[in-house]
Amino acid sequence: MCHKVIGMNKKEDFISLEHVHKNFAGVHALKDLSLSIKKGEIHCLAGENGSGKSTLIKVISGIHVPSEGVIRIGDKILNRLTPKQAIALGVQVIYQDFSLFANLTVAENLALNTNLAQNKKLVSWKKVYQLAREAMDRLQIDIDLKREVGTLPVAQKQLIAIARALMFNARLIIMDEPTTALTGKEVQVLFDIVRQIQKEGISVLFVSHKMREMLEISEKITVIRNGSKVAEGPTTDFDEKLLTYHMTGQEFTDEKYIITTESNETPRLQLGNYCGNGFQNIDLCLHKKEVIGITGLLGSGRTEFAKALFGMQADTTGTLRIDGEPVQLSSITDAIKHGIAYVPEDRLSEGLFLSQSIKRNILATTLDSIGNKFFLDKIILTERATQTVDEIGIKTDNTDNAVNTLSGGNQQKVVLGKWLLTHAKILILNGPTVGVDIGSKSEIHKRIRNIAREGDLAVIMFSDDINELVHNCNRIIIMHKSKFVEEIPASDAEENDINNRLKELA
């Protein structure tokens, strides 16, 4: 049952959707959904992947025409809305890829749409830089206007996208999963910008599945599941547990991964004074069944350390032993040969062959063991892929479907599954649930804990998500300025304490 909206400021609605349905070939993507966003309101739209969030965004921005229902913007009542109409009425969408031209400069990206709208045949570079500088000044940000956008970090690309949206008299800015690739500090900068926009009377629809961020930034939350609105109300009506329940229809228990290791047992991984580009003087003992977490601020060296353990940095010094035997990791091939598996943070560019089938992606690491060098045994291929899909809970009805047809959570399960097939000894997880919704995240966490506890796998989890580390690791290590600076056992690990410690180090 939905919450009643009470205690909200009596602002005038900017946009409202009334009893909207959207069907695709008999599939009900949106079902009788009503939603209103007030002028100058920060409104969060919450839901898991596949809940209908993207469809709703496209209805509001005019890309999809509702099968039923109406849209009200101000005094206009519309059965359908085109993208051109939506923009003219003040609706701007900032998608996850920001829709920027990587090979153009900041100034060119900011001024391009204005020049196109004015149908200019000749470019006045003085005017281009004037427009760009005015857009930057409005947000009080300073980015080199002559830099190519492709060379900028994600956080700055996002600010450029926001500045561009404001150039077109935006009255509603929709931000689609805006914090997926941002650090904690960058998220706070974004939130400051969002609040600044709100002061100008501009509405913001913040689309996310990250509960803490929703609770921090929003005034009102609408939760959708399977295309229907299941909860709505002022943010003060919600907490993380209630949001999780509404988003998934399930209740999850918080438990810590506490496990006892034998002190006289040979460590699965042992590092002594291990040094490389970005990290130094690392000493570490990791035993079978352990899941240890490593976190740190941007620039702490943790990403370089993770990649070095997978043979992506050949010029390391110090000692590295696996099951007591000294090992030199000069390449990824060396790492795989010695039983090390790596799940990267960016599954799209580093972990998957997006146009290839789910089956091919799952079996990519073990093809050499199926058939011989001339022929592959198709029966074994299908059996092994199907077994992995079932065991790890990948939601698909056909392993021959392209992997890019899966949700983010299921794509991440494919990456995890293909490495588990290698019977790895050490599993390195770099941001294992980035961009994954709460339901899939819980399933992935449970799978990781089970394979560590029930087998002889050792796991290292690198993550910004402190809550993820607290509930899945038997100890947590903080990295700072290329070194390990603190180790916390699971029994003592508290999220607020670790976050406060990281703030002290900032």
Q: Are residues 314 and 353 in the same domain?
A: no
| The total number of structural domains that make up the chain | 3
* Same-domain pairing of 55 and 187: yes
Q: Which tokens in the block code for residue 453?
A: 């506890």
58's enclosing H/E stretch is helix 53-60
pTM of the predicted structure, to 2 decimals: 0.75
- Of 396, 423, 450, the residue that ends a domain is 423
434 half-sphere exposure, CB direction, 13 A CA radius: 22
Same domain, 499 and 480: yes
| Burial (0-12, 13-18, 19+ Cβ within 10 Å), 84 | exposed
Considering the domain boundaries, does residue 8 fall inside one?
Answer: no
pLDDT of residue 6: 37
Q: In sequence order, what are the beta bridge partners of 483?
A: 480
Residue 61 lies in a domain: yes
Q: Which pLDDT value is given to residue 4? A: 37
Residues contacting residue 148 through CB under 8 Å, at least 6 positions apart: 102, 103, 104, 105
Q: Are residues 359 and 413 in the same domain?
A: yes
Give kind and range of the element (H or E) at residue 100.
none
Contact 153, 94 (CB under 8 A): no
Which of 5, 15, 8 is CA-nearest to residue 203?
Answer: 15
60/186 same-domain check: yes
Q: What is the mean pLDDT of each run of 10 residues along the chain (506 residues)?
A: 43 93 89 96 91 93 94 89 92 89 92 73 83 91 93 90 90 90 82 94 91 93 96 95 91 82 87 96 96 92 94 93 95 94 83 88 79 63 86 86 86 88 91 83 88 90 92 95 95 90 87
Distance CA 389, CA 391 (A): 6
Beta strands across the sheet bearing 42-46: 91-94, 172-176, 203-208, 42-46, 220-225, 228-234
**Residues 241 and 175 grouped into a single domain:** yes
Which CATH number does the domain housing residue 466 bear? 3.40.50.300
Structure tokens at 363: 């079996």
Are residues 184 and 464 in contact, defined by beta-carbon separation less than 8 angstroms?
A: yes
Range of the domain at 372: 343-423
Decide if 407 is inside a domain. Answer: yes
Which residues pair with residue 174 across a beta bridge? 93, 205
* Domain boundary, last residue among 248, 283, 316: 248
Q: Are residues 404 and 491 in the same domain?
A: no
Does some domain include residue 505?
yes
Which tokens go with 54?
């993207």
Which residue in the block uniquely carries the two structure tokens 């410690």?
501
pLDDT on residue 349: 77
The pairing of beta strand 340-343 with beta strand 325-326: unpaired
Asked if residue 191 and residue 75 are part of one domain, the reply reads yes
Domain co-membership, 233 together with 357: no
Are 248 and 439 in contact by the 8 Å Cβ rule? The answer is: yes
Whether residue 4 is contained in a domain is answered as: no
> CA 409, 411, 413: angle at the middle one, nearest 5?
75
Q: Check whether residue 372 and residue 326 sit in a common domain.
A: no
Check residue 187 and give its pLDDT.
87
Q: What is the residue-wise DSSP string for 382-406?
A: HHHHHHHHHHHT---S-TTSBGGGS
Q: Which of 423, 446, 480 is the last residue of a domain?
A: 423
Residue 84 lies in a domain: yes
Question: Does 274 fall in a domain?
Answer: yes
Burial class (CB in 10 A: 0-12, 13-18, 19+), 308: buried
Indicate whether 127 belongs to any domain. Answer: no
> Do both 353 and 392 map to the same domain?
yes
Q: Same domain, yes or no, for 177 and 73?
A: yes
Number of helical H runs and strand E runs in the chain: 16, 20
Distance CA 470, CA 480 (A): 18
**Tokens 């998934």 — which residue?**
248
